[in-house]
Amino acid sequence: EKRNCQEGTMMRLVSNFSPLRRLRIPALSTQKVSIAPALVKELRDVSGAPMMECKKALMAENVGGDINKALDWLRAKGIAKAKSSERVSAEGLIAVFSPLPTSNTQTATMVEVNSETDFIAMNKDFQLFVAVLCNTVHSSLPSISGAISIPEVLKLPPVWWNVESNTGIFKGKSHATVQDMLGDIVSSIRENIVIRRVENIATSAGSPQSRSLLSSYIHGKVGFDMVPPQIQLGRSAAVVELKVTSTEEAVSDASILHCNDMARKLAMHIVAAKPQYLTVTEVPVDVIERETAIFRKQALDDLKTKPQMVDKIVAGKVKKRISEICLLEQSHVAEENSPVVEKFLTAFSASSANLSHVGVNSYYLWSLGSSLQKENPSTSDTQS
């Protein structure tokens, strides 16, 4: 009996220190973050990384399901390239009213109208409504520069470019306001149509020797013969403002037309390359610190990297990354041999007769659901 009692005591002691019993200690337990499949898919769309890597990134330590932190985690591992995590799903059309290059008044108008489905963008009545809206704002509010409130726009009477253009579901109808016209198109298409944003882009006052020029490019262009050529419709758009300075008393119209062709290609580049800043000096400190942290983690994880070379490697990668997101530092994808934009503009100025300087004052980049506007704070009207 005494022996049996001793054996029972030993068994209890062993069970108390068994691995299973130790796993029940709260301090050693772990809880996994629950990640929704939709979030994994969204990260995959913006990063291009495999699904399992995206899930691993979202569940990583100090990430906690945050898509921005997960994207940084993937970049630090070398799994994903640098991309914007801002991804907005929207359908509809963007319209741009571009002024004539030689016009003394350089004001462009941009509008975005959203729909529920993508095929509505191919509907001619919808296209006509967006074009009339753009023309109305440009004609009725020429003195306003910047964003215009939607309630103010809805109160405006529609302005058509000619009587014959009043066709489709609008034919024979007289709409007192844009709001009435919007109600008509909603009833016809049977989808929720929303005017998301409206903006006028006006150039600063110049002089005969230094003129401003607005030029635009539309990607995913749609439209038909009824829409005038100055109004273009598509899924994304860029408007670029150039400052053209002459060596003579005044900038000629011929010089402006010469610059306009180049400016349109630059707008095309902006749509394709999607720069986030105009110059390096505009990049916020926190962006530089974030990129530095990512590249430092990459360098430290690479066993081939010598410790004394880490700082030099990181500095080089950060410089390259910053050049990829600044317009003037990017390689011009729409020009032969892809020169750096700033160097291309300098060469363009030098090779153009009677021009002393051609520079970028500002640019505007709109895509359905998102926008970007950048101005050059160092550029003045008297620049030469």
Give yes or no for a contact between 266 and 240, defined as CB atoms under 8 angstroms apart. Answer: yes
Q: What is the largest CA-CA distance in the chain?
A: 119
Is the pLDDT at 87 greater than 70, yes or no? no
Q: What pLDDT does residue 375 have?
A: 64
Is the pLDDT at 377 greater than 70, yes or no? no
- Taking the alpha carbons at both ends of the chain, their separation in whole angstroms is 107
Which residue type sits at 74? L
The predicted model gives 195-211 an average pLDDT of 87
Q: Which residues pair with 202 in a beta bridge?
A: 107
The predicted model gives 106-116 an average pLDDT of 93
The predicted model scores a pTM of 0.76
The predicted model gives 4-8 an average pLDDT of 55
pLDDT digits (tens, 9 = 90+) for 229-267: 999 999 999 999 999 999 988 889 999 999 999 999 999
Tokens of 156: 């405006």
- Give residue 28's pLDDT band: very low, low, confident or very high (50, 70, 90): very low
296 by Cβ neighbours in 10 Å (0-12 / 13-18 / 19+) ranks as: middle
N residues, the chain: 384
Q: What pLDDT does residue 241 have?
A: 95
**Average pLDDT in the chain:** 83
Tokens of 96: 């741009």
The predicted model gives 115-124 an average pLDDT of 89
Q: DSSP secondary structure string, 360-383? A: EEEEEEEETTEEEEEE-TT--TT-
Residue (of 347, 324, 200) closest to 262 by Cα position: 347
- Going by the DSSP 8-state scheme, the letter that residue 80 receives in this structure is S
Is the pLDDT at 334 greater than 60, yes or no? yes
Q: What pLDDT does residue 26 have?
A: 44
The predicted model gives 95-100 an average pLDDT of 94
Is the pLDDT at 29 greater than 80, yes or no? no
Give yes or no for a contact between 329 and 374, defined as CB atoms under 8 angstroms apart. Answer: no
Residue (of 58, 51, 83) closest to 73 by Cα position: 58
Q: What pLDDT does residue 298 have?
A: 82
Tokens of 112: 């975005």
Of 80-84, 105-109, 123-127, give the lowest mean pLDDT range. 80-84
The predicted model gives 332-361 an average pLDDT of 92
Q: Secondary structure of 126-195 in the HEC alphabet?
A: HHHHHHHHHHHHHHHCCCCCEECCHHHHHCCCCCCCCHHHCCHHHCCCCCCCHHHHHHHHHHHHCCCCEE
Higher pLDDT, 63 or 326: 326
- Give residue 297's pLDDT band: very low, low, confident or very high (50, 70, 90): confident
Alpha carbon 280 to its chain centroid, in Å, reads 17
Tell me how crowded residue 140 is: count the other CB atoms within 10 A of its CB.
18
Tokens of 135: 């023309």
Of 277-281, 295-299, 314-318, give the lowest mean pLDDT range. 295-299
Residue (of 84, 115, 74) closest to 301 by Cα position: 74
pLDDT digits (tens, 9 = 90+) for 34-83: 788 888 888 887 788 888 888 888 888 888 888 888 888 888 877 776 66
pLDDT digits (tens, 9 = 90+) for 141-157: 988 899 999 999 999 99
Q: What pLDDT does residue 382 have?
A: 27
Measured between alpha carbons, how far is 332 from 327 in angstroms, rounded to an integer?
Answer: 9
Alpha helices in 36-149 (DSSP H): 37-47, 51-58, 67-76, 124-140
Q: What pLDDT does residue 76 have?
A: 83
